[in-house]
Chains A and B, each alone.
Chain A
Amino acid sequence: MQSVEDFFLWLYEAHGINLTIFSDSWDRARFLAGILTTIELSVVCIVLSVVIGIVGVWLQGTRARAPRMAVAAYIAFFRGTPPLVQMYFFYFAVDRALSSLLGVSGGLVSNFGWAVISLSFFAGAFNVEIFRAGMSSVPGATIEAAEALAYTRFQIYRHVTLPLALRASLPALNSNLVNLVKTTTVAYAIAVPETLYVANQIWSDEYNVVEMMNVVWVTYLILVGILVWMMHAWEKNMRIPGYGAAR
């Protein structure tokens, strides 16, 4: 590690490229912590937003009017407003309102917690729409066959519609999840120490904006690249011999 640090110190002295995340252990530690926070935020939000998508599309398909209206309102709100405004709304308005309602002092949920909640709801709204499109790609006749075999509505959803809809949804889901990973930078605004936030701290301390800007680009390209690679592997794994585009 000493030789790596020496190399980057030399790089700074000889060429003026100041990459303190490699030459300074303190900067390195906080930058790695930032990347870990981004990954943690992304993973938790991906899982929650997919769950929201699945539950939302299930509620959309019920006969009762109230849940369908609630899902429609949810989508209209979270798809129709900026994610930064949503995050401010949760962090500043909802937290305060809930705290005073429950008589808790010092805030109810951490800033990381509110970032998870607002980003999951944000991406979840798109996932509901993505899964709905996937559901409508499942032939009615296939569902009818399950009905004729006396499957319950839930069994049809769980064992027929969902597995087929999920496969049809994967390309669009892939794009939305990539967007979600990139949108985690919005958590900067409520001081969640994610990648962009710590990069800003580092360039404020070290005056190496240009270097850190490039580091941030590369970091997100790698993070998104890993996600895309995983999603493609999943798509390939879910492929059914003789079915759909895989032919």
Chain B
Amino acid sequence: MTWTPDKPIVSLRNVRKSFGDFEVLKGISFDVMKGEVICIIGPSGSGKSTLIRCINALNDIQEGSITLEGQEVHDPKLDKLALRRKVGMVFQQYNLFPHKTALQNVMMAPVLVLRQDKAEVEKRARSLMAKVRLSGKEDSYPGELSGGQQQRVAIARSLAMNPDVMLFDEVTAALDPETVKEVLVTIKALAEEGMTCILVTHEMGFAREVADHIYFTDRGVVVEHGPPAEFFANPKDPRTREFLDQVL
């Protein structure tokens, strides 16, 4: 089955995932079209992070199906590395390589994994650093940067691989309120350029602004979903209303 852009780039069907006896995901389904931005919101412990970690096979699943560009992610025969080359991921704790400078962090994967020409990668890495507004910080080590700066390096590091889809796992949750904005601005610019983005977030204002579609998950299921205007103005499920009352 070959994938064409009129079909969902990421598609989840009845995904179930357990850690031991504890079932975290109890049958989750959704589709993401190319260029779409979707936000997954919900209370802590509702399985949001687990869900996006299944998309690049950092977590396995017990049941159901996840496809990326038509390919089954959890097919044991699938080349996981080939899959991960197409999916960028940004983490809550940035997870930069502390022994490499910001520029080296951005350059490493294209040079090592994609075996691209070093000089060319460096040129691209410098322009990515400029894109996340960190020109001049190329030679700083992660430990010398603020949380917000580190997170933007992490975004540039993912973008250097030219991914088809970007996953953001609560990327502003560890940041100071003042630095949250600089990261969100970066993500917003990315979304506006047409990058397919799947975000787990607690930033409701941001979700409302950038998302094409919101999914509210609780206790391992999608309780309610819809375009943001509708979702926030007129939540139907009592659990959604309760959650939104608490966070807004």
Q: Which residues of A contact B (CB under 8 A)?
A: 139, 141-142, 144-152, 155, 159-160, 163-164, 167, 240-244, 247
Contact = CB atoms under 8 A, between A and B. Distances in A.
Interface string B134-157: 000000111111000000001001
Contacts of A142: 95-98
Given A150-B81, A241-B143, A159 B95 contact: no
Interface residues of B, number: 31
Given A147-B58, A151-B109, A141 B84 contact: no
A167 B95 contact: no
B89 interface: yes
A47 to B, nearest CB: 23
A183 to B, nearest CB: 32
A150 B85 contact: yes
A149 B143 contact: no
B99 A151 contact: no
A141 B161 CA distance: 19
Interface string B4-47: 00000000000000000000000000000000000000000000
Contacts of A164: 98-99
B139 to A, nearest CB: 10
Contacts of B93: 141
Contacts of A145: 89, 91, 95-97, 154
A74 to B, nearest CB: 29
Contacts of A146: 97
A144 B95 contact: yes
Given A159-B97, A240-B98, A242-B144, 13 more contacts: A144-B58, A145-B89, A146-B97, A147-B84, A148-B87, A149-B108, A150-B81, A150-B85, A150-B161, A159-B108, A242-B145, A243-B141, A243-B142
B56 interface: yes
A150 B114 CA distance: 9
B173 interface: no
A150 B109 contact: yes
A148 B87 CA distance: 8
Contacts of B109: 149-151
Nearest to B154: A145
A241 B95 contact: no
A155 B143 contact: no
A147 B142 CA distance: 19
Contacts of A244: 98
B99 A163 contact: yes
A244 B99 CA distance: 10
A159 B112 contact: yes
A155 B112 contact: yes
Contact of B91 (A141, A167, A247): A141
13 contacts: A139-B95, A141-B91, A147-B58, A150-B84, A151-B109, A151-B112, A152-B81, A164-B98, A164-B99, A240-B99, A240-B141, A240-B143, A241-B141
Interface string B74-89: 0000000111110111
A161 to B, nearest CB: 10
Contacts of A151: 109, 112-113
Given A243-B99, A247-B143, A155 B84 contact: no
A237 to B, nearest CB: 12
A149 B157 contact: yes
B106 to A, nearest CB: 11
A23 B245 CA distance: 93
Contacts of A152: 81, 113
B158 interface: yes
Given A144-B58, A242-B143, A247-B143, A149 B113 contact: yes
Contacts of A241: 140-141, 143-144
B161 A149 contact: yes
Contacts of A150: 81-85, 109, 113, 161
B95 A242 contact: no
A242 B143 CA distance: 4
Contacts of A243: 98-99, 141-143
Contact of A148 (B56, B96, B98): B56
A144 B99 CA distance: 16
B48 to A, nearest CB: 17
